[in-house]
C-alpha cells in the first residue's frame, strides 16, 4: 500500500503533476496531492497544507490509515484453518505433485503427529506439540534418525501453511556406512533366491540409490555402450536427486543379466517392478529378511518393534544389512581398481567431490600404503 506525493500545477488550463524535490523550497500556494489506490482504483486527494513537510506528514498518515484498514478487513475475513483440513489439503497436494513414496511418508508422518497433537486449529500449534511428538516417537522405539526425519516432515507441513516460527530440531549421530566385504557378499549371494541375487547385483553394479533402482527401466539401458542412465520418470512423478540425470557404465555380467531379464519380460518396463507392476518399495525389507534367514545378522542390534524390544538375533532388524552399503561398496571397489575419485563422483551422482572423498576415506584406511606408514611409524620400538 503505497501513497505517493505529487505537486500539481496548472499550465495553460492543463493540469500537470510532478514529484516534489525534498531539497527545494516550495512557496505558499503550491498545491500538494496524494495518489494511492483503493480496491484497484486510482485516487487523487488534494491536501490542505502549505509546505512540503506538512505534505510529507500527511502522506505518512494516509499510508498508515490505509494499511490498518486493509489489515482489519484481512483479519476479519481470515477463517481459521483446522489441523485436519490443513493436513488433508497438504496430503492431496503432495499426492498430485510428488512421488507416491513421498506421499506415503507424509501420510504416515502427519497421522503420527495427529495422534499426539490435540489442537483443533492450525494457529494453536506451538513448540510443545513438536516436543510431544518427539517424546511419543522415541517412546514407540523409533531411532533418532527416524525421529529427526519425521519431525522435519511436520515442520515442512507447518511451513507450507505459513507457520515459520514453530520449529524444533532433533539431533542424531550420523552412522558410518561401511562397504561390504567380499566374504559378506558371497555369503549373501549364496543364500539368496535368483531374483534377489539379480537385485543385489544390480545395486552393486550400478551404485544406484534405492529409489533409482526402483525406477530403473529397460529403456534406461544402452546395451551397446553398456551403460545405464538415471532418468526422470513422469509416470511416477519421480525425479532424480537434485534433478541431475547421469549415466553409469556397468560390467558385462550385469549387461548380460539385463538382456536376459528384458527377453523374459518383453512388455515390462521397470527392471524390478513390484507384484503390481509399480516401482518396488521393499528392497530393504527383502535384504534384511534374507540376511536373517541366512544367519548373517551380527546378533548385537536391538530395536523396539510395536512396543516390544527385539534383537537382530531373531528379527530382521540388523543394522549391518542396509542397501546403502551396496553403493558404498560400488565406490570402494572402483576406487581400489584405480578409477579416479572425480569419475566415481559422477557415477554416484554426488553433488560435491567432498562427499565422494568421504566415501573413499575408509578404503584408504586399509590400503597398502597406509599399512606401510602405520607399521613404519612404530618400527623402531618393535622388538627384533
Residues in contact with Zn ion by the rule CB under 5 A? 297-298, 301, 312, 318
Distance (Å) of CA 320 to CA 127, 192, 302, 326: 35, 17, 12, 11
Strand order in the sheet with 246-249: 221-222, 227-230, 246-249
Q: Which contiguous run of DSSP H or E holds residue 105?
A: helix 100-116
CA terminus-to-terminus distance, the chain: 87
Closest approach of Cβ 310 to Zn ion, in Å? 11
Q: Are strands 302-305 and 308-311 parallel, antiparallel or unpaired?
A: antiparallel
Closest approach of Cβ 302 to Zn ion, in Å? 9
- Burial class from Cβ neighbours inside 10 Å (0-12, 13-18, 19+) for residue 97 reads exposed
Q: For residues 132 and 301, which CB has a smaller minimum distance to Zn ion in the complex?
A: 301
Q: For residues 106 and 321, which CB has a smaller minimum distance to Zn ion in the complex?
A: 321
Closest approach of Cβ 298 to Zn ion, in Å? 4
Spatial distance between the Cα atoms of 356 and 328, rounded to a whole number of angstroms: 10
Closest approach of Cβ 321 to Zn ion, in Å? 8
Spatial distance between the Cα atoms of 31 and 44, rounded to a whole number of angstroms: 12
Q: For residues 260 and 298, which CB has a smaller minimum distance to Zn ion in the complex?
A: 298
The Cα angle at residue 224 between residues 277 and 281, in degrees rounded to 5: 25
DSSP SS3 for 196: helix
Closest approach of Cβ 227 to Zn ion, in Å? 36
Closest approach of Cβ 176 to Zn ion, in Å? 15
Give CA torsion, residues 285, 200, 249, 349, to 10 deg. Answer: 30
Closest approach of Cβ 375 to Zn ion, in Å? 32
5 φψ region: left (φ > 0), alpha (ψ -120 to 50), beta (else): beta
Q: For residues 1 and 187, which CB has a smaller minimum distance to Zn ion in the complex?
A: 187
Closest approach of Cβ 179 to Zn ion, in Å? 17
Closest approach of Cβ 319 to Zn ion, in Å? 6
Q: For residues 142 and 297, which CB has a smaller minimum distance to Zn ion in the complex?
A: 297
- Burial class from Cβ neighbours inside 10 Å (0-12, 13-18, 19+) for residue 207 reads buried
Q: For residues 57 and 305, which CB has a smaller minimum distance to Zn ion in the complex?
A: 305
306 φψ region: left (φ > 0), alpha (ψ -120 to 50), beta (else): left
Q: For residues 271 and 312, which CB has a smaller minimum distance to Zn ion in the complex?
A: 312
Q: For residues 163 and 284, which CB has a smaller minimum distance to Zn ion in the complex?
A: 284
Spatial distance between the Cα atoms of 294 and 286, rounded to a whole number of angstroms: 12
Q: For residues 216 and 318, which CB has a smaller minimum distance to Zn ion in the complex?
A: 318
Amino acid at each position: 500500500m503505497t501513497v505517493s506525493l505529487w505537486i500539481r500545477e496548472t499550465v495553460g488550463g492543463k493540469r500537470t503533476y510532478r514529484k516534489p524535490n525534498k531539497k527545494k523550497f516550495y512557496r505558499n500556494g503550491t498545491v500538494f496531492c496524494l495518489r494511492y489506490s483503493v480496491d484497484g482504483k486510482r485516487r487523487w486527494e488534494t491536501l490542505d497544507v502549505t509546505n512540503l513537510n506538512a505534505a510529507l506528514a500527511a502522506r505518512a498518515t494516509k499510508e498508515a490509515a490505509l494499511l490498518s484498514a486493509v489489515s482489519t478487513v484481512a483479519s476479519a475475513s481470515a477463517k481459521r484453518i483446522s489441523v485436519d483440513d490443513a493436513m488433508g489439503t497438504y496430503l492431496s497436494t503432495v499426492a498430485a505433485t510428488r512421488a507416491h513414496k513421498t506421499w506415503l511418508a507424509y501420510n504416515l508422518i502427519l497421522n503420527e503427529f495427529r495422534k499426539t497433537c490435540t489442537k483443533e486449529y492450525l494457529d494453536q500449534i506451538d513448540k510443545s506439540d513438536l516436543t510431544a511428538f518427539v517424546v511419543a516417537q522415541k517412546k514407540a522405539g523409533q531411532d533418532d534418525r527416524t525421529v529427526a526425519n519425521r519431525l522435519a516432515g511436520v515442520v515442512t507441513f507447518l511451513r507450507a501453511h505459513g507457520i515459520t516460527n514453530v520449529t524444533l530440531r532433533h539431533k542424531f549421530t550420523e552412522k558410518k556406512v561401511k562397504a561390504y566385504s567380499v566374504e559378506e557378499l558371497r555369503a549373501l549371494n549364496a543364500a539368496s533366491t535368483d531374483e534377489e541375487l539379480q537385485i543385489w547385483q544390480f545395486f552393486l553394479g550400478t551404485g544406484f540409490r534405492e529409489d533409482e533402482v526402483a525406477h530403473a527401466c529397460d529403456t534406461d539401458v544402452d546395451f551397446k555402450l553398456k551403460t545405464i542412465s538415471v532418468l526422470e520418470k513422469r509416470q511416477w512423478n519421480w525425479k532424480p536427486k537434485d534433478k541431475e540425470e547421469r549415466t553409469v557404465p556397468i560390467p558385462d555380467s550385469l549387461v548380460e543379466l539385463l538382456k536376459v531379464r528384458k527377453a523374459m519380460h518383453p512388455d515390462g518396463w521397470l527392471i524390478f517392478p513390484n507384484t503390481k507392476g509399480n516401482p518396488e518399495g521393499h528392497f530393504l525389507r527383502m535384504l534384511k529378511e534374507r540376511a536373517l534367514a541366512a544367519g548373517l545378522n551380527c546378533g548385537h542390534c536391538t530395536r523396539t518393534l510395536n512396543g516390544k524390544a527385539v534383537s537382530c538375533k531373531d528379527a530382521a532388524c540388523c543394522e549391518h544389512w542396509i542397501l546403502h552399503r551396496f553403493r558404498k561398496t560400488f565406490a570402494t571397489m572402483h576406487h581400489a581398481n584405480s578409477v579416479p575419485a572425480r569419475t566415481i563422483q559422477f557415477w554416484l551422482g554426488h553433488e560435491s567431490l567432498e562427499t565422494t572423498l568421504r566415501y573413499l576415506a575408509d578404503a584408504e584406511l586399509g590400503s597398502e600404503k597406509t599399512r606401510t606408514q602405520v607399521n613404519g611409524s612404530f618400527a623402531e620400538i618393535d622388538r627384533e
